[in-house]
Amino acid sequence: MNKKRHKDSFKIGNEVIELGERKKAYLDVAALLDYTKLRIPIEVIRGKEKGPVLFISAAIHGDEVNGVEITKRLLQRKILKKIKGTLLVIPVVNIFGFNNQSRYLPDRRDLNRCFPGHVKGSLGSRLAHTFMKEIVSKCTHGIDLHTGAIHRSNLPQIRACLDDQQTSDLAQCFGVPVVLHSKLRDGSLREAARKRKVCTLLFEGGEALRFEESVIKAGVNGCLSVMQYIGMLPEAKKVLGKNKKSVYVSKGSYWTRATHSGSFRAKKKLGDQVKAGDLLAVISDPFGDNPYSVYSKYEGIVIGISKIPLVTQGDAMFHIATFRNSGKVKEAMTSFDEELT
Ligand SMILES: [Zn+2]
Protein backbone atom coordinates (compact mmCIF):
# COMPACT_ATOMS: atom_id res chain seq x y z
CA MET A 1 0.00 0.00 0.00
CA ASN A 2 2.71 2.44 1.04
CA LYS A 3 4.80 1.48 -1.93
CA LYS A 4 1.90 2.23 -4.30
CA ARG A 5 1.32 5.65 -2.73
CA HIS A 6 4.95 6.44 -3.19
CA LYS A 7 4.95 5.43 -6.84
CA ASP A 8 1.99 7.67 -7.66
CA SER A 9 3.21 10.68 -5.66
CA PHE A 10 3.99 13.89 -7.48
CA LYS A 11 6.78 15.93 -5.94
CA ILE A 12 7.35 19.58 -6.63
CA GLY A 13 9.56 21.84 -4.54
CA ASN A 14 9.15 20.51 -1.01
CA GLU A 15 5.55 19.37 -1.52
CA VAL A 16 4.28 15.90 -2.27
CA ILE A 17 0.90 15.77 -3.95
CA GLU A 18 -1.02 12.52 -4.04
CA LEU A 19 -3.74 11.48 -6.48
CA GLY A 20 -6.97 13.40 -5.79
CA GLU A 21 -5.18 16.23 -3.92
CA ARG A 22 -5.05 19.96 -4.63
CA LYS A 23 -2.15 21.84 -3.07
CA LYS A 24 0.06 24.88 -3.39
CA ALA A 25 3.78 24.39 -3.84
CA TYR A 26 6.66 26.86 -4.06
CA LEU A 27 9.92 26.92 -5.95
CA ASP A 28 12.71 28.73 -4.14
CA VAL A 29 14.68 31.11 -6.30
CA ALA A 30 17.19 33.83 -5.39
CA ALA A 31 16.39 36.13 -2.48
CA LEU A 32 16.07 39.90 -2.77
CA LEU A 33 18.95 42.17 -1.74
CA ASP A 34 17.60 42.39 1.83
CA TYR A 35 17.51 38.56 2.05
CA THR A 36 13.71 38.38 1.62
CA LYS A 37 13.10 35.00 0.04
CA LEU A 38 11.41 34.92 -3.35
CA ARG A 39 9.48 31.84 -4.37
CA ILE A 40 7.49 30.97 -7.49
CA PRO A 41 3.98 29.94 -6.39
CA ILE A 42 2.34 26.97 -8.07
CA GLU A 43 -1.05 25.33 -7.66
CA VAL A 44 -1.18 21.61 -8.35
CA ILE A 45 -4.46 19.83 -8.98
CA ARG A 46 -4.35 16.05 -9.29
CA GLY A 47 -7.26 13.94 -10.36
CA LYS A 48 -8.01 10.61 -8.75
CA GLU A 49 -6.94 8.95 -11.98
CA LYS A 50 -3.64 9.42 -13.73
CA GLY A 51 -3.60 11.12 -17.13
CA PRO A 52 -1.91 13.97 -19.00
CA VAL A 53 0.23 16.45 -17.07
CA LEU A 54 -0.32 20.03 -18.21
CA PHE A 55 1.45 23.20 -17.10
CA ILE A 56 -0.14 26.61 -17.64
CA SER A 57 2.29 29.46 -17.02
CA ALA A 58 1.89 33.24 -17.09
CA ALA A 59 4.00 36.37 -16.62
CA ILE A 60 7.28 34.90 -17.81
CA HIS A 61 7.46 38.51 -18.91
CA GLY A 62 6.64 40.13 -15.57
CA ASP A 63 4.38 42.91 -16.91
CA GLU A 64 2.14 40.63 -19.00
CA VAL A 65 -0.64 40.47 -16.46
CA ASN A 66 -3.58 39.28 -18.59
CA GLY A 67 -2.26 35.74 -18.19
CA VAL A 68 -2.20 36.13 -14.40
CA GLU A 69 -5.92 36.94 -14.49
CA ILE A 70 -6.56 34.03 -16.89
CA THR A 71 -4.95 31.54 -14.49
CA LYS A 72 -6.73 33.09 -11.49
CA ARG A 73 -10.13 32.67 -13.14
CA LEU A 74 -9.30 29.20 -14.40
CA LEU A 75 -8.46 28.07 -10.87
CA GLN A 76 -11.94 29.15 -9.69
CA ARG A 77 -13.70 26.83 -12.14
CA LYS A 78 -15.65 24.03 -10.44
CA ILE A 79 -15.08 21.73 -13.40
CA LEU A 80 -11.47 21.31 -12.26
CA LYS A 81 -12.81 18.83 -9.67
CA LYS A 82 -13.28 16.44 -12.58
CA ILE A 83 -9.66 16.48 -13.68
CA LYS A 84 -7.99 13.32 -14.85
CA GLY A 85 -4.23 13.68 -14.69
CA THR A 86 -2.37 16.63 -13.21
CA LEU A 87 -2.66 20.38 -13.77
CA LEU A 88 0.18 22.67 -12.73
CA VAL A 89 -0.70 26.37 -12.73
CA ILE A 90 2.09 28.93 -12.40
CA PRO A 91 0.45 32.39 -12.42
CA VAL A 92 3.72 34.32 -12.13
CA VAL A 93 6.95 32.82 -13.44
CA ASN A 94 9.03 36.03 -13.47
CA ILE A 95 8.33 37.04 -9.88
CA PHE A 96 11.05 39.71 -10.00
CA GLY A 97 9.55 41.46 -13.03
CA PHE A 98 5.98 41.10 -11.74
CA ASN A 99 6.82 42.87 -8.48
CA ASN A 100 8.44 45.70 -10.44
CA GLN A 101 5.79 45.80 -13.20
CA SER A 102 8.61 45.05 -15.61
CA ARG A 103 9.04 42.62 -18.48
CA TYR A 104 12.58 41.84 -17.40
CA LEU A 105 14.68 40.36 -14.64
CA PRO A 106 16.63 42.71 -12.31
CA ASP A 107 19.71 42.45 -14.57
CA ARG A 108 17.59 43.49 -17.63
CA ARG A 109 17.68 39.98 -19.06
CA ASP A 110 14.61 38.55 -20.76
CA LEU A 111 13.70 35.34 -18.95
CA ASN A 112 12.15 33.94 -22.13
CA ARG A 113 15.59 33.96 -23.77
CA CYS A 114 17.25 32.08 -20.89
CA PHE A 115 15.82 28.58 -21.44
CA PRO A 116 16.68 25.77 -20.84
CA GLY A 117 19.07 27.46 -18.43
CA HIS A 118 21.88 26.19 -16.29
CA VAL A 119 22.25 25.49 -12.59
CA LYS A 120 25.32 27.74 -12.38
CA GLY A 121 24.30 30.39 -14.94
CA SER A 122 22.92 33.91 -14.53
CA LEU A 123 19.83 34.56 -12.39
CA GLY A 124 17.59 34.03 -15.44
CA SER A 125 19.46 30.91 -16.45
CA ARG A 126 19.13 29.42 -12.96
CA LEU A 127 15.44 30.29 -12.78
CA ALA A 128 14.87 28.71 -16.21
CA HIS A 129 16.79 25.61 -15.13
CA THR A 130 14.66 25.26 -11.97
CA PHE A 131 11.48 25.69 -14.02
CA MET A 132 12.56 23.03 -16.52
CA LYS A 133 13.57 20.58 -13.81
CA GLU A 134 10.63 21.05 -11.45
CA ILE A 135 7.83 21.70 -13.95
CA VAL A 136 8.45 21.04 -17.64
CA SER A 137 10.29 17.73 -17.25
CA LYS A 138 7.22 16.33 -15.44
CA CYS A 139 4.69 17.45 -18.07
CA THR A 140 3.22 16.08 -21.28
CA HIS A 141 1.71 19.41 -22.44
CA GLY A 142 2.10 23.14 -21.77
CA ILE A 143 0.44 26.50 -22.37
CA ASP A 144 2.45 29.70 -21.91
CA LEU A 145 0.36 32.88 -21.64
CA HIS A 146 1.64 36.18 -23.04
CA THR A 147 0.50 39.66 -24.12
CA GLY A 148 1.97 42.24 -26.45
CA ALA A 149 4.82 44.36 -25.10
CA ILE A 150 4.13 47.60 -23.27
CA HIS A 151 1.95 49.94 -25.41
CA ARG A 152 1.49 47.23 -28.02
CA SER A 153 -1.73 45.27 -28.19
CA ASN A 154 -2.23 41.85 -29.77
CA LEU A 155 -5.35 40.18 -31.11
CA PRO A 156 -5.95 36.90 -29.20
CA GLN A 157 -3.88 34.35 -31.11
CA ILE A 158 -1.95 31.13 -30.71
CA ARG A 159 1.66 30.91 -31.82
CA ALA A 160 3.05 27.46 -32.31
CA CYS A 161 5.35 25.46 -34.52
CA LEU A 162 2.79 23.75 -36.74
CA ASP A 163 5.30 21.41 -38.39
CA ASP A 164 4.49 19.10 -35.50
CA GLN A 165 1.04 17.54 -36.04
CA GLN A 166 0.23 17.14 -32.34
CA THR A 167 1.06 20.81 -31.66
CA SER A 168 -0.94 21.87 -34.71
CA ASP A 169 -4.02 19.95 -33.51
CA LEU A 170 -3.68 21.43 -30.04
CA ALA A 171 -3.29 24.95 -31.48
CA GLN A 172 -6.50 24.60 -33.44
CA CYS A 173 -8.52 23.29 -30.51
CA PHE A 174 -7.60 26.33 -28.36
CA GLY A 175 -10.45 28.05 -30.17
CA VAL A 176 -9.09 31.46 -31.19
CA PRO A 177 -9.62 32.18 -34.90
CA VAL A 178 -6.01 33.13 -35.62
CA VAL A 179 -3.14 30.66 -35.31
CA LEU A 180 0.27 31.93 -36.33
CA HIS A 181 2.84 29.42 -37.48
CA SER A 182 5.85 30.52 -35.56
CA LYS A 183 9.31 29.05 -35.79
CA LEU A 184 10.82 28.39 -32.42
CA ARG A 185 12.65 31.21 -30.75
CA ASP A 186 16.04 30.57 -29.33
CA GLY A 187 16.09 30.48 -25.55
CA SER A 188 12.32 30.46 -25.14
CA LEU A 189 10.38 28.22 -22.78
CA ARG A 190 8.38 26.94 -25.76
CA GLU A 191 11.51 25.82 -27.60
CA ALA A 192 13.07 24.20 -24.52
CA ALA A 193 9.80 22.38 -23.78
CA ARG A 194 9.55 21.13 -27.35
CA LYS A 195 13.07 19.72 -27.15
CA ARG A 196 11.85 17.73 -24.15
CA LYS A 197 8.92 16.55 -26.29
CA VAL A 198 6.40 18.55 -24.27
CA CYS A 199 3.76 19.82 -26.70
CA THR A 200 3.52 23.55 -25.90
CA LEU A 201 1.35 26.44 -27.12
CA LEU A 202 1.96 30.14 -26.73
CA PHE A 203 -1.14 32.30 -26.27
CA GLU A 204 -0.84 36.01 -27.07
CA GLY A 205 -3.51 38.59 -26.39
CA GLY A 206 -3.88 42.18 -25.24
CA GLU A 207 -1.10 44.43 -24.00
CA ALA A 208 1.24 44.55 -21.03
CA LEU A 209 -0.01 45.96 -17.68
CA ARG A 210 -3.68 45.81 -18.70
CA PHE A 211 -6.59 43.45 -18.13
CA GLU A 212 -8.69 42.98 -21.24
CA GLU A 213 -11.93 41.14 -20.66
CA SER A 214 -12.33 39.61 -24.12
CA VAL A 215 -8.73 38.38 -24.07
CA ILE A 216 -9.11 36.93 -20.59
CA LYS A 217 -12.28 35.06 -21.58
CA ALA A 218 -10.62 33.73 -24.74
CA GLY A 219 -7.66 32.55 -22.66
CA VAL A 220 -9.75 30.77 -20.02
CA ASN A 221 -11.94 29.09 -22.65
CA GLY A 222 -8.87 28.09 -24.64
CA CYS A 223 -7.17 26.45 -21.65
CA LEU A 224 -10.37 24.50 -20.86
CA SER A 225 -10.69 23.43 -24.52
CA VAL A 226 -7.13 22.12 -24.53
CA MET A 227 -7.79 20.22 -21.29
CA GLN A 228 -10.83 18.60 -22.88
CA TYR A 229 -9.00 17.81 -26.07
CA ILE A 230 -6.16 15.98 -24.29
CA GLY A 231 -8.61 14.08 -22.09
CA MET A 232 -8.06 15.90 -18.77
CA LEU A 233 -11.66 17.11 -18.61
CA PRO A 234 -14.89 15.57 -19.79
CA GLU A 235 -16.32 17.24 -22.86
CA ALA A 236 -19.12 19.63 -22.02
CA LYS A 237 -20.80 21.90 -24.52
CA LYS A 238 -20.58 24.87 -22.19
CA VAL A 239 -16.81 25.14 -22.24
CA LEU A 240 -15.96 23.26 -25.38
CA GLY A 241 -13.73 25.07 -27.86
CA LYS A 242 -15.07 26.81 -30.89
CA ASN A 243 -15.72 25.07 -34.12
CA LYS A 244 -12.44 23.83 -35.53
CA LYS A 245 -13.51 24.93 -39.02
CA SER A 246 -13.33 28.59 -38.01
CA VAL A 247 -9.63 28.49 -37.12
CA TYR A 248 -7.30 30.04 -39.69
CA VAL A 249 -3.62 29.42 -39.87
CA SER A 250 -1.24 32.13 -40.95
CA LYS A 251 2.15 31.07 -42.22
CA GLY A 252 3.49 34.58 -42.44
CA SER A 253 3.22 38.07 -40.97
CA TYR A 254 4.87 41.45 -41.39
CA TRP A 255 5.26 44.72 -39.51
CA THR A 256 4.43 48.01 -41.14
CA ARG A 257 6.89 50.65 -40.00
CA ALA A 258 6.68 54.42 -39.76
CA THR A 259 7.95 56.02 -42.95
CA HIS A 260 8.45 59.35 -41.14
CA SER A 261 8.53 60.69 -37.57
CA GLY A 262 5.52 62.43 -36.04
CA SER A 263 2.15 61.71 -34.48
CA PHE A 264 -0.27 59.46 -36.31
CA ARG A 265 -3.94 58.77 -36.61
CA ALA A 266 -4.69 55.07 -37.11
CA LYS A 267 -7.25 54.18 -39.77
CA LYS A 268 -7.35 50.47 -38.89
CA LYS A 269 -7.76 48.62 -35.63
CA LEU A 270 -6.99 45.15 -34.24
CA GLY A 271 -8.82 42.43 -36.14
CA ASP A 272 -9.46 44.57 -39.23
CA GLN A 273 -9.01 43.03 -42.62
CA VAL A 274 -6.72 44.98 -44.95
CA LYS A 275 -6.07 44.71 -48.65
CA ALA A 276 -2.73 45.48 -50.29
CA GLY A 277 -2.40 49.27 -50.56
CA ASP A 278 -5.04 50.09 -47.90
CA LEU A 279 -4.48 53.25 -45.86
CA LEU A 280 -3.39 52.23 -42.33
CA ALA A 281 -2.46 55.56 -40.77
CA VAL A 282 -1.56 59.16 -41.48
CA ILE A 283 1.58 60.60 -39.86
CA SER A 284 2.09 64.34 -39.61
CA ASP A 285 3.98 67.02 -37.70
CA PRO A 286 2.31 68.82 -34.73
CA PHE A 287 0.78 71.45 -37.07
CA GLY A 288 -0.88 68.84 -39.21
CA ASP A 289 1.35 69.88 -42.08
CA ASN A 290 3.34 67.47 -44.19
CA PRO A 291 1.06 64.44 -43.77
CA TYR A 292 2.43 61.08 -44.84
CA SER A 293 0.23 58.06 -45.47
CA VAL A 294 1.19 54.57 -44.37
CA TYR A 295 -0.18 51.73 -46.52
CA SER A 296 -0.36 47.97 -46.11
CA LYS A 297 1.90 45.93 -48.34
CA TYR A 298 -0.16 42.74 -48.59
CA GLU A 299 -3.64 41.52 -47.80
CA GLY A 300 -4.12 40.29 -44.22
CA ILE A 301 -5.56 40.81 -40.74
CA VAL A 302 -4.23 43.30 -38.19
CA ILE A 303 -3.01 41.13 -35.28
CA GLY A 304 -0.83 43.67 -33.44
CA ILE A 305 -0.88 47.43 -33.11
CA SER A 306 1.15 50.18 -31.45
CA LYS A 307 -0.95 52.04 -28.85
CA ILE A 308 1.33 55.10 -28.66
CA PRO A 309 0.27 57.52 -31.40
CA LEU A 310 3.81 58.93 -31.64
CA VAL A 311 6.41 57.38 -33.90
CA THR A 312 9.97 57.88 -34.94
CA GLN A 313 10.82 56.82 -38.47
CA GLY A 314 11.25 53.05 -38.52
CA ASP A 315 9.03 52.32 -35.49
CA ALA A 316 6.73 49.30 -35.78
CA MET A 317 3.09 50.38 -36.17
CA PHE A 318 0.89 47.50 -37.41
CA HIS A 319 1.54 43.75 -37.28
CA ILE A 320 -0.35 42.06 -40.11
CA ALA A 321 -0.81 38.31 -40.54
CA THR A 322 -1.31 37.05 -44.06
CA PHE A 323 -3.87 34.39 -44.98
CA ARG A 324 -5.05 32.75 -48.17
CA ASN A 325 -8.50 34.18 -47.54
CA SER A 326 -8.49 36.93 -44.97
CA GLY A 327 -12.17 37.72 -45.65
CA LYS A 328 -13.14 34.41 -44.05
CA VAL A 329 -10.82 35.05 -41.10
CA LYS A 330 -12.52 38.38 -40.50
CA GLU A 331 -15.91 36.66 -40.58
CA ALA A 332 -14.74 34.01 -38.08
CA MET A 333 -13.42 36.72 -35.79
CA THR A 334 -16.68 38.58 -35.80
CA SER A 335 -18.61 35.51 -34.66
CA PHE A 336 -15.85 34.74 -32.14
CA ASP A 337 -16.21 38.21 -30.61
CA GLU A 338 -19.96 37.76 -30.36
CA GLU A 339 -19.53 34.46 -28.52
CA LEU A 340 -17.32 36.12 -25.92
CA THR A 341 -19.63 38.99 -25.04
ZN1 LIG B 1 5.62 37.83 -23.49
The 10s digit of each residue's pLDDT in 123-138 is: 999 999 999 999 999 9
In the reported structure, the alpha carbon of residue 94 is separated from the centroid of ligand 1 by a whole-number distance in angstroms of 11
pLDDT single digits (tens) 319-334: 999 998 888 888 888 8
Q: What is the pLDDT of residue 2?
A: 45
Supply φ then ψ for residue 86, to 5 degrees.
-135, 130
pLDDT single digits (tens) 22-46: 999 999 998 888 999 999 999 999 9
Supply φ then ψ for residue 205, to 5 degrees.
-175, 135
Q: How large a percentage of the chain has pLDDT more than 90?
A: 82
User: Lowest-pLDDT range, 1-15, 108-122, 188-202?
Assistant: 1-15
More confident residue, 247 or 53: 53
**Do the Cβ atoms of 66 and 145 come closer than 8 Å?**
yes
Sorting pLDDT into bands at 50, 70 and 90, what band is 183? confident
In the reported structure, the alpha carbon of residue 135 is separated from the centroid of ligand 1 by a whole-number distance in angstroms of 19
Mean per-residue pLDDT, 246-270:
94
Q: What is the pLDDT of residue 245?
A: 55
Distance from the first to the final alpha carbon of the chain: 50
**Do the Cβ atoms of 94 and 61 come closer than 8 Å?**
yes
Sorting pLDDT into bands at 50, 70 and 90, what band is 244? low
In the reported structure, the alpha carbon of residue 59 is separated from the centroid of ligand 1 by a whole-number distance in angstroms of 7
In the reported structure, the alpha carbon of residue 291 is separated from the centroid of ligand 1 by a whole-number distance in angstroms of 34
In the reported structure, the alpha carbon of residue 145 is separated from the centroid of ligand 1 by a whole-number distance in angstroms of 7
In the reported structure, the alpha carbon of residue 199 is separated from the centroid of ligand 1 by a whole-number distance in angstroms of 18
pLDDT of 1 strictly over 80 = no
Q: 205: which residues sit within 8 A by CB, 6+ positions away?
A: 66, 146, 147, 154, 155, 156, 157, 176, 212, 215, 218, 219
In the reported structure, the alpha carbon of residue 237 is separated from the centroid of ligand 1 by a whole-number distance in angstroms of 31
Q: What is the pLDDT of residue 6?
A: 61
Mean per-residue pLDDT, 139-153:
97
**Strands (DSSP E) along 81-177, which ranges?**
86-90, 141-146, 152-160
More confident residue, 29 or 241: 29
pLDDT of 280 strictly over 50 = yes
Ion ligand 1 contact residues with beta carbon within 5 A: 61, 64, 146
In the reported structure, the alpha carbon of residue 47 is separated from the centroid of ligand 1 by a whole-number distance in angstroms of 30
Q: What is the pLDDT of residue 302?
A: 96
Residue 235 CA to residue 217 CA, distance in Å, equals: 18
pLDDT of 179 strictly over 50 = yes
